[in-house]
Amino acid sequence: MADDASHAQLTPAAPKPAHVPDALVYDFDYFKDPGFQTDPHARIAQMHKEAPEVFWTPRQGGHWVALSYEANYDLGRDWETFTSEFVPQAQMQAMRAALPPGAPHIPQPLPINVDPPLHTKYRIPLNGAFSPKAMNLLRDDIRALAKELVANIAPKGCSEFMADVAEPLPVNVFLKMFGLPLERAEAYRALVKEHFESIDFDPKATIIKLQKVAAIMRDTFLERKENPGDDLISRLWQANVDGQPTTLEDMENWGVLLFLAGLDTVMNGIGLGVRHLATDPALQERLRQSPELSQELTEELLRRYTFTVPVRMAAKDTEWHGAPIKARERVLMLLGGADLDSSRFAEPERTDIDREDKVHIAFGTGPHRCVGSHLARIELQIMYEELLAGLPTFRLDPANPPKFHGGNVIGLDTLHIVWDV
């Protein structure tokens, strides 16, 4: 338990349901935990010493958390026990049918918020669009942009790296491949930040947020339907779901998910990786000498600093890795816990690019496993290569320690680094 002073900033504790044994209660607020503000992965490592592999926390409305590798691995795959459909399809259709004529569509992020078999139908068009072959075609553009961003900061001797590089790189890459105008990048990022800042227990608030996201893309969607280009929006218009042509509603359902996933994940991965490198000059030196190791570096940093936190809801009562979970209770997949589990990885807190087995689950498991993983890996790898080639040894700025955030995407708000010029 955190002390009283740090409790002040946590969400109020929900009453413990009678079926939750005292031994499985552990206090953890995944948005506001004080440890997450200073070093989220150190906090996760501490949890491994103190908490059961699946525990219940009273914070954020009260929910379960899967901490161990096995519990997370199984959760992602068992969609029949743990659903991603927080709003069942029948209820979603009824809400849409009740809308007055001309009211905006209620977007549902697809395919992430539905289970198979519907999931598969909405996933198939994305698999082709994000295939390794399609993503490899972006390499030259990504490298040119990474080079340019690093060249801009190199003469300065210091950088707030999130704003200077970690954010603009993936945001530009995604907007270009998706087909959204770059000049609106700032407005898009503001919406994404608002979306991930907190969770809404009121479904109406979530709907309003998602409608704002859909609204900011609608004119581009409609324009691209008439004038297709070489981008994902145009390609998705030409796809079909179950033999039916794509509708504007389908575009908005795909669009809200891709927008939120594409504009917030990679930047946090870059931030966490570069923050590690700034504390490990020997590793920097090794990679400068042997840039061909950048793939191993990327994988080990993804494992060591796994940062997304997906959520499921129990579809039925179940006994899960020792926890008595009841239908409709929420379960957080703390994937960072999975990849720091000593029963899966020897000395998990050691960052070791020579580690033989670094097969992590940073991109999830099961049917929802990340469709953007090939793109993310290419961006991370090229970023590390260009950063290490373009800057001499860099370190954290002692006057400005990194600022972290928790939530469904753990990451950094600011990362000040310095180097000699």
Distance CA 113, CA 368 (A): 9
Instruction: Please give the angle made by the CA atoms of 403, 407 and 410, to the nearest 5 degrees.
Output: 50
Minimum gap (Å) between residue 378 Cβ and ligand HEM: 10
Contact between 261 and ligand HEM by CB under 6 A: the answer reads: yes
Nearest residue (CB) to ligand HEM, 19 versus 328: 328
Closest CA to 11 of 55, 56, 60: 60
Q: Which is nearer to ligand HEM, 24 or 213 (CB)?
A: 213
Nearer to ligand HEM, 45 or 370 (CB): 370
Select 142 or 391, whichever has its Cβ closest to ligand HEM. Answer: 142
**Buried/exposed code over 193-220 (b: 16+ C-beta within 10 A; e: otherwise):** eebbeebeeeeeebbebbbebbebbeeb
**Which of 370, 390, 393, 413 touches ligand HEM by CB under 6 A?**
370
Cα 365 to the center of its chain, rounded Å: 14
Collapse the DSSP code of 364 into the 3-class scheme (helix H, G, I; strand E, B; otherwise coil) and give the result.
Answer: coil
Residue placing its CB nearer to ligand HEM in the complex, 58 or 64: 64
- Which of 162, 258, 277, 378: binder of ligand HEM (CB under 6 A)? 258
Which of positions 334-353 make contact with ligand HEM (CB under 6 A)? Answer: 335
State the first-to-last Cα distance of the chain, in angstroms, to the nearest integer. 45
371 near ligand HEM, rule: CB under 6 A:
yes
Rounded Cα distance between 205 and 210, Å, is: 9
Q: Give yes or no for a contact between 72 and 365, defined as CB atoms under 8 angstroms apart.
A: yes
Looking at the DSSP assignment, which residues form a beta bridge with residue 395? Answer: 418
Least spacing, CB of residue 7 vs ligand HEM, in Å: 30
Q: Is 381 in the site for ligand HEM (CB under 6 A)?
A: no
Whole-number Å distance between alpha carbons of 170 and 150: 14
Residue 262 interacts with ligand HEM (CB under 6 A): yes or no: yes
- Segment near ligand HEM (CB under 6 A); pick from 12-20, 204-212, 234-242, 370-378: 370-378
Rounded CA gap, 102 and 93, in Å? 16
CB within 8 A of 72, min separation 6: which ones? 66, 333, 334, 335, 337, 338, 361, 365
372 binds ligand HEM (CB under 6 A): yes
Among 57, 68, 81, 265, binds ligand HEM (CB under 6 A): 265
Position closest to ligand HEM via CB: 372
364 binds ligand HEM (CB under 6 A): yes
**Selected binder of ligand HEM within 168, 273, 310, 337 (CB under 6 A):** 310
Residue 56: phi and psi, rounded to 5, are: -110, 130
Q: Which of residues 75-114 bind ligand HEM (CB under 6 A)?
A: 76, 84, 111-112
The DSSP result for 236-279, as a single string, is: HHH-EETTEEP-HHHHHHHHHHHHHHHTTHHHHHHHHHHHHHHT
CB of 84 to ligand HEM, least distance (A): 6
The count of residues interacting with ligand HEM (CB under 6 A) is 26
Stretch binding ligand HEM (CB under 6 A), from 25-33, 262-270, 271-279, 337-345: 262-270
Toward ligand HEM, which CB reaches closer, 20 or 309?
A: 309
User: Exposed e or buried b for every residue in 266-277, given b needs 16+ CB within 10 A?
Assistant: bbbbbbbbbbbb
CA torsion sign, 166 to 172 to 175 to 181? positive
Q: Which stretch binds ligand HEM (CB under 6 A): 50-58, 257-265, 320-328, 341-349?
A: 257-265
Residues in region 153-192 near ligand HEM by CB under 6 A: 174
Q: Is 376 in the site for ligand HEM (CB under 6 A)?
A: yes
In degrees and rounded to multiples of 5, residue 208 shows phi and psi of -60, -45
Going by the DSSP 8-state scheme, the letter that residue 32 receives in this structure is: T
Residues that bind ligand HEM (CB under 6 A): 76, 84, 111-112, 123, 126, 174, 257-258, 261-262, 265-266, 269, 308, 310, 335, 362-364, 368, 370-372, 375-376
